[in-house]
Amino acid sequence: MPVMGLNMKGVTMMPRKSNTRAASHSGSIRQRPDGRWEARVTIGTDPGTGKPVRRSIYGATQNEVRQAMTEVIRELDKGVYQAPSKVTVSAWLTEWLDVFCTSKVKPLTLQSYKAIISNHVTPIIGAMKLQAVKGSHIQKVYNTMTTAGLSGKTVKNTSAVLHKAFSVAMKQGIISANPCDGAELPKVERHEITPLTDAEIPAFLAAIESSPMRNAYAMCLFAGLREGECLGLSWKQVDFKTGRITISQQLQKEKSKGGKYYIASSTKSGKPRTIEPPEIAMKYLQAERVRQLENRLRAGTTWSNPDDLVFTDETGQHLAIHSFYKAFKRIAASIGRPDARPHDLRHTAATVAIASGADVKSVQDLLGHATASFTLSTYAHTSEKMMKDTAARVQSYYDNLTSKQA
């Protein structure tokens, strides 16, 4: 006996003849021998055979499958229908990393993506089906991180990774919307920068005098280099004749346990920059040149500096980032600044440049920031001081005009 179908209003329909084809986006409902209800929806046509492609929806009641079928037909009509997929969040993120990220992002960036996913995402929503993820699930990830005491910036970084991964899933036709758009990020509180003061700068220079890393610290201070840029600087990037330095690579360390050091052939912004630091910075580089040549003579055949790095130990090996940091902390504590970090030397360089009258665009170029607005917002406190100084100079100008007329 042929199975009777139901139309969208629940009216019994005569069975289709075997030689007729279902119209696209049409559906029928039947009750199975096991008591469950099944809705069959024609979701398209097989391009190879021309035969209709159908999807079955199962449920305990006729009304349940009718509602599900109605939703599928509505999505088909709108062109947003997604075929059911069993792919989990964890499986998709692994594929996204391997297929879409490995050859396109920097190694250190890829490592950070993997760490974010394994530490903050997979434990919470990794087992979920990708298509089932909603904004509320993403919000749970954010809330869990915030409750654990992680900063707003860390949560924002996690959001950026997830948004990229889900955007690619949309392009691949796996999901129809990005669930990250339905979640709200916590407020990111910008930490106030703490550059060395005018009194602390000479104290710091005196304190590093006996340090084997003296010249490296001086370059961070006077040229505004990041730690990785400083420790990865090579002699071929230094032009003593023009007094210019090209920043185009960094010393980095793999974040995995026992990770190795390597030279990353790009800066944080991804773009090289050529700077002309104050003359004093070049003098420290000249001093390092002499120091390195002396070390090379003493080391003899044990000397090895394959990357022609500026800052090396007694045998030509690169300096370790953790050693650079620890030595700096001891020096900073000795001048009453135990809170200072090596990156604060870079902040000091920027602050001094702005306070000396340098325009924001020049400071942006010195530091290698992506935009001048970022530079301006980062050093707003210094900019405010400059505005007050400018206002005072303008006021003095008008005061002089008034006094001449009196």
Least confident segment among 83-87, 136-140, 371-375:
371-375
Name which residue leads in pLDDT, 395 or 127: 127
In angstroms, the CA 140 to CA 10 distance is 40
Write down the pLDDT at residue 187: 81
Sketch out the chain's domains with CATH numbers: 5-78 (3.30.160), 89-182 (1.10.150.130), 200-385 (1.10.443.10)
In angstroms, the CA 381 to CA 193 distance is 9
With bands split at pLDDT 50, 70 and 90, how would you rate the model's confidence at 372? low
- Tokens 């032009």, residue located: 239
Give the CA radius of gyration of the chain. Answer: 32
Name which residue leads in pLDDT, 205 or 75: 205
Name which residue leads in pLDDT, 7 or 320: 320
Least confident segment among 129-133, 215-219, 356-360:
356-360
Q: Is the pLDDT of residue 1 over 50?
A: no
Nearest to 181 by CA among 115, 124, 137: 137
pTM: 0.64
Write down the pLDDT at residue 299: 95
Write down the pLDDT at residue 72: 81
Write down the pLDDT at residue 23: 46
Write down the pLDDT at residue 386: 60
Write down the pLDDT at residue 11: 37
Q: Mean pLDDT throughout 223-250?
A: 94
Per-residue pLDDT of 69-119, as tens digits, reads 888 888 777 777 666 778 899 999 999 999 999 888 888 788 899 999 999
In angstroms, the CA 298 to CA 363 distance is 40
Name which residue leads in pLDDT, 303 or 30: 303
Tokens found for residue 229: 């840029």
Write down the pLDDT at residue 393: 65
Write down the pLDDT at residue 39: 87
Q: CB-based burial of residue 25 (10 Å sphere; 0-12 exposed, 13-18 middle, 19+ buried)?
A: middle
Q: Is the pLDDT of residue 19 over 70?
A: no
Q: Mean pLDDT throughout 46-55?
A: 76
Give the mean pLDDT of the chain. 85
- Which secondary structure element, helix H or strand E, spans residue 202, and what is its range? helix 200-207
Q: Is the pLDDT of residue 380 over 80?
A: no
Per-residue pLDDT of 179-203, as tens digits, reads 999 999 988 776 778 889 889 999 9
Q: Is the pLDDT of residue 21 over 50?
A: no
Q: How many residues does the chain have?
A: 406
Write down the pLDDT at residue 396: 75
Per-residue pLDDT of 158-176, as tens digits, reads 999 999 999 999 888 888 8
Q: Is the pLDDT of residue 51 over 60?
A: yes
Q: Is the pLDDT of residue 13 over 50?
A: no
